[in-house]
Each structure stands twice: as structure tokens, then as C-alpha cells.
């Protein structure tokens, strides 16, 4: 009987609670507390939506209150938009009679899509404010966004709703050819440092043409976008040594999200693709960040791709994926790739001097350097690896073995490591008798190898691979392979250090 009575009262209580649609409140008195008094929405490109930012609003009083209005100062014309505890209000701009319980809080989420023409013409800032209540109870939270103008490059959109495409083998992808006589942008093959460039889809360099990037140029790729260098086309990246931390003369390729939380996120865009038949490609002082494959380099018409003073970071798959390519690399730094920082595959001809190849991807499958002379399923499956030479290099990372040689019979497999620091623990002894990994006794392939010594990089997580005199790489290089200046323009001493950086005292 007592159980039946208890259930009866519980039912009554639930029905009363379910029927109640409001509660007694008093008007807000202007005593709201905010998690921030100013919200800085990080730099955005004109007409590209921002990330979403959060404001928390607290009612510290003992009373349930009603806030008569929460609105943007510029009203319905504001370029900001909000949700208030999941409500969209009037066009995300104006909210009326918002209830807030005693000792409780609510969330406001703010974002913007704004044009450079809407900004302050001198500071390029777009501002507004969130206003709570009015009159004597008015409280405000300021909103500030820096807008960066850019040159936008994208496929044409046709009247039938389709988009311009590029033929890639038997497939087509969203893309377009850069036009040296574009009626709006002028010469699209000349990338200057006057404004950043934002690319949608794949921008292709036409056959017989060269895309040139001036020192200080900035190129941003939208998701699933990239750059293609076509058959008989070329790319010349003419960066130079910078004198400040702003890397003012570096040519930088990265995604189009400028907010700090995106600064090291891999896979935000596709790749820079030097296709089969592209020729005379030259990269100097380039930084390539956060792509799927930083550089995809295929058979380049028998010519050498020259890569100097170049850094590639945070690639979802590969920093460089080379297939039957010919590369001469000096002062290169590659870190953090889902599969390999550097993959020299399907044969080819490769020479790297004073380079730092590291991989700290959070996986037990990644490596810093992979060298092979085959691709499964290809016809033919193997191709000659005529040279894979590493001089005065560092090959390191978080995994036990950071250098893998994949060799198949039926094609040449020529490799050599001279004065290199290698991480290769061979913990399970599976390579003990493998003739390709006899670091101390195979003088034909290995000379002056430092095995499993700590290079003591400055800060791997921040892609700072500088070393000082405590590094195992200090003064272990061979002067015969000397590159006089390091990746950032410091003069190397003799004997040189291994890797891309000349040692300097750290200023932490």
C-alpha cells in the first residue's frame, strides 16, 4: 500500500513539472558577469567564414531573471551572427526576453563572414558589440575581427550549375588553369607578395608555362585544393633568407584557416603535385604546412627537381612522396607525417645533403625516411633506384626505426648514407642479419654513421629543429659535403654539424 501511495505522489509531481512552461523571474538589473569583455575573432579572409567563438554569461544573483534584449549593436545589418543557448533569435542578431536562472549561466556562440569593404579602411578591423538590455542596465561585450584582403583563384562556375574541371588520367577534379592574361587578376602565373592568395580547387600550371613565386608570397589552399604543375610546365619558388620571426621573405603554402587552433592541423588541403613530365622545378626557401601530401613529385621528364632551404610540416600522409623522380635536396627539414616524412619510392634518383628528416606522428607505423624501388600493382612493378644518397643528414623521430629500405629484385637498388645520424633501434632483432642494415660493417653503403644518438632538437612539437653544442649532431659532418649556409642563412663552421641547422645557443 505504501508503495502504491509513493508511486501516486511521484506521478502527481512529474505531471505538475511537465505542465509547467514558465517560472517567476525579475528583470535583469545590469549585473551580468561575462567570461570575456572583448571577443577577438582571429584574422579571417574577406568573405570566408570564421571559426565559432564562445561567450559565457553568468547570473550570480539569487533571483531568476529575464534579460529583455540580447542583440548586436549594428542590429540586423551586423556581419556577426549568434546563437544564445541554442536559440537563433531574429536572424541570429536580436533576442528578446531571455530567461536565466539564479546562479546559472548561458552560452552565446559568435561567428562572422565579412568583406574587406566593411572594415575600418586603415586598421582593417570590423567591430561590433553584443548589447545586453538597454538604458541604465545596458552591458556590452566588444567584438573585434581583423580582415585580410586576398586574391581569390577558383574554377569557373557555368550557367548550367557545373564547375570547371581538370582531367587527371581517367578522372576529373575541380580545378582550372592559371591564366597569364586573366581580365581580373592579371598574370596568375606570377605570385607576388602584395596580397595573399586563396585557392579553391586545383590550380594548374599550363604546359609550357612557369609559375613563379616571389619572396614573401603567401598561398592559402581551401579544403581539397592544391597546385598542379602539368606536363612540360615548371614551378619556381624564389624565397629568400628572412631576418625576423615573421619569415617575411619565405614563400609559405598552408590552409586558408588563419585561426591559431588550425596552425598545426594536418590534412587541411591537398598537395603541390609536380606531375609526370613537369620539368625544371626549383624550390628555395619554401614552407609547406598542413597538407595531405606536402609535395607529390613524379617522373619529371628526366630533369632534376631542386629543393633548397625548404621546410615541410604536418602532412596527413607524406611530407614528400617521390615516384621515379630525380631530386637534389639541400637544407631541407621535414617533420610529422602520417606515413613517411620522406618517401622515395618506385625507383628514381635522389641526393640529400644537410637535411633533417624527423617524424613525431603519433603512431607506431610512421617513419622519417622510406626508400623503395617498387609499387605494388604497377606495371612494371619495379623501377631502378639509381641513387639514394644522404650526406650529413639527421634521420630521427619517435618510433624505434625511422629509416626503412624496401627492396625488390629485378631492378637496381643503389643507396648510401655518409656521415648521418640514424635512429634505428632494431628492438626485435628482425634486421640483425639483413644485409641492407649493416651500419658498422657495410662500408659500401654506410660511412661514419651515428646510431641512436639524441640530436637534442630545440622543440620538436613546435617544428624547431635547431641544435646547440650538446647535440650528438654537433661537428659530426664531413666537410666534403659542406653547404656553406644553413637553412636560415647561418654560416657553417668546420667540421660542419649534421642536419639543416648550424648549432647556436638556445634562447628558450
Burial letters 417-455, b for 16+ CB under 10 A, else e: bbbbbbbbeeeeeebeeeeebebeeeeebbeebbeebeb
According to the model, what pLDDT value does residue 221 have?
96
The structure's pTM equals 0.87
Residue 16 predicted with pLDDT over 60: no
pLDDT, tens only, 342-379? 999 999 999 999 999 999 998 878 999 999 999 988 88
Task: Identify the burial level of 269 via C-beta atoms within 10 angstroms of its C-beta, where 0-12 means exposed, 13-18 middle and 19 or more buried.
Answer: buried
Residue 13 predicted with pLDDT over 70: no
> Is residue 413 reached through a cis peptide bond, with omega within 30 degrees of 0 on the bond before it?
no
| Spatial CB neighbours of 182, under 8 Å, sequence gap ≥ 6 | 188
- Characterize the bridge pairing of strands 202-205 and 171-177: parallel
- Grid coordinates standing for 266? 594536418
- Characterize the bridge pairing of strands 165-168 and 171-177: antiparallel
**CA-based nearest residue to 389, from 480, 488, 295:** 480
Calculate the average pLDDT of the chain.
92
Percent share of the chain, pLDDT over 70: 95
Q: Where does the pLDDT of residue 496 fall: very low under 50, low under 70, confident under 90, or very high at 90 and above?
A: very high
**Residue 191 region, left (φ>0) first, then alpha (ψ -120 to 50), else beta?**
beta
> Distance (Å, rounded) from C-alpha 250 to C-alpha 444?
38
> Is residue 431 reached through a cis peptide bond, with omega within 30 degrees of 0 on the bond before it?
no
Amino acid at each position: 500500500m505504501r508503495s502504491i501511495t509513493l508511486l501516486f505522489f511521484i506521478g502527481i509531481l512529474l505531471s505538475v513539472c511537465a505542465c509547467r512552461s514558465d517560472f517567476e523571474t525579475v528583470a535583469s538589473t545590469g549585473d551580468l558577469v561575462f567570461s570575456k569583455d572583448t571577443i577577438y575573432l582571429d584574422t579571417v579572409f574577406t568573405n570566408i567564414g570564421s571559426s565559432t567563438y564562445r561567450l559565457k554569461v553568468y547570473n550570480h544573483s539569487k533571483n531568476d531573471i529575464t534579460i529583455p534584449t540580447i542583440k548586436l549593436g549594428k542590429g540586423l545589418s551586423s556581419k556577426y551572427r549568434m546563437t544564445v543557448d541554442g536559440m537563433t533569435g531574429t536572424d541570429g542578431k536580436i533576442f528578446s526576453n531571455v530567461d536565466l536562472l539564479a546562479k546559472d549561466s548561458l552560452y552565446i556562440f559568435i561567428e562572422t563572414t565579412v568583406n574587406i569593404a566593411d572594415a575600418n579602411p586603415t586598421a582593417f578591423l570590423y567591430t561590433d558589440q553584443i548589447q545586453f538590455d538597454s538604458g541604465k542596465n545596458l552591458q556590452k561585450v566588444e567584438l573585434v575581427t581583423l580582415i585580410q584582403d586576398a586574391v581569390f583563384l577558383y574554377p569557373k562556375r557555368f550557367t548550367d550549375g557545373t564547375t570547371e574541371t581538370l582531367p587527371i588520367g581517367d578522372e576529373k577534379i575541380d580545378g582550372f588553369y592559371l591564366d597569364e592574361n586573366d581580365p581580373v587578376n592579371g598574370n596568375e602565373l606570377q605570385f607576388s607578395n602584395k596580397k595573399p592568395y586563396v585557392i579553391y580547387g586545383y590550380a594548374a600550371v599550363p604546359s609550357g608555362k612557369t609559375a613563379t613565386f616571389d619572396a614573401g608570397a603567401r598561398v592559402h589552399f581551401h579544403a581539397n585544393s592544391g597546385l598542379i604543375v602539368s606536363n612540360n610546365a615548371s614551378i619556381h619558388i624564389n624565397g629568400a633568407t628572412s631576418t625576423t620571426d615573421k619569415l617575411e621573405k619565405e614563400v609559405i603554402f598552408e590552409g586558408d584557416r588563419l585561426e591559431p587552433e588550425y596552425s598545426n592541423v594536418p590534412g587541411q588541403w591537398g598537395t603541390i603535385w609536380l606531375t609526370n613530365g613537369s620539368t625544371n622545378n626549383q624550390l628555395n626557401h619554401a614552407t609547406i604546412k598542413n597538407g595531405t601530401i606536402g609535395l607529390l613529385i613524379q617522373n619529371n621528364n628526366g630533369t632534376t627537381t631542386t629543393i633548397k632551404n625548404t621546410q615541410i610540416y604536418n602532412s596527413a600522409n607524406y611530407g614528400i612522396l617521390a615516384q621515379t623522380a630525380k631530386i637534389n635536396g639541400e637544407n631541407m627539414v621535414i617533420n610529422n607525417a602520417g606515413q613517411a616524412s620522406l618517401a622515395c619510392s618506385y625507383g628514381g634518383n635522389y641526393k640529400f645533403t644537410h637535411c633533417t628528416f624527423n617524424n613525431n606522428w603519433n603512431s607506431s607505423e610512421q617513419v622519417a625516411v622510406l626508400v623503395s624501388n617498387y609499387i605494388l600493382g604497377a606495371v612494371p612493378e619495379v623501377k631502378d633506384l639509381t641513387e639514394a644518397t644522404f650526406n650529413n643528414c639527421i634521420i630521427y623521430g619517435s618510433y624505434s626505426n625511422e629509416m626503412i629500405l624496401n627492396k625488390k629484385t629485378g631492378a637496381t637498388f643503389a643507396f648510401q648514407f655518409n656521415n648521418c645520424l640514424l635512429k634505428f633501434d632494431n628492438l626485435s632483432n628482425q634486421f640483425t642479419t639483413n644485409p641492407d642494415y649493416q651500419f658498422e660493417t657495410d662500408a659500401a653503403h654506410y660511412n661514419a654513421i651515428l646510431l641512436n644518438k639524441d640530436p637534442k632538437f630545440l622543440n620538436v612539437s613546435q617544428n624547431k629543429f635547431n641544435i646547440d653544442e650538446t647535440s650528438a649532431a654537433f661537428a659530426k659532418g664531413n666537410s666534403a659535403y659542406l653547404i656553406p649556409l644553413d637553412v636560415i642563412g647561418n654560416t657553417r663552421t668546420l667540421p660542419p654539424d649534421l642536419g639543416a641547422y648550424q648549432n647556436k645557443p638556445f634562447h628558450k
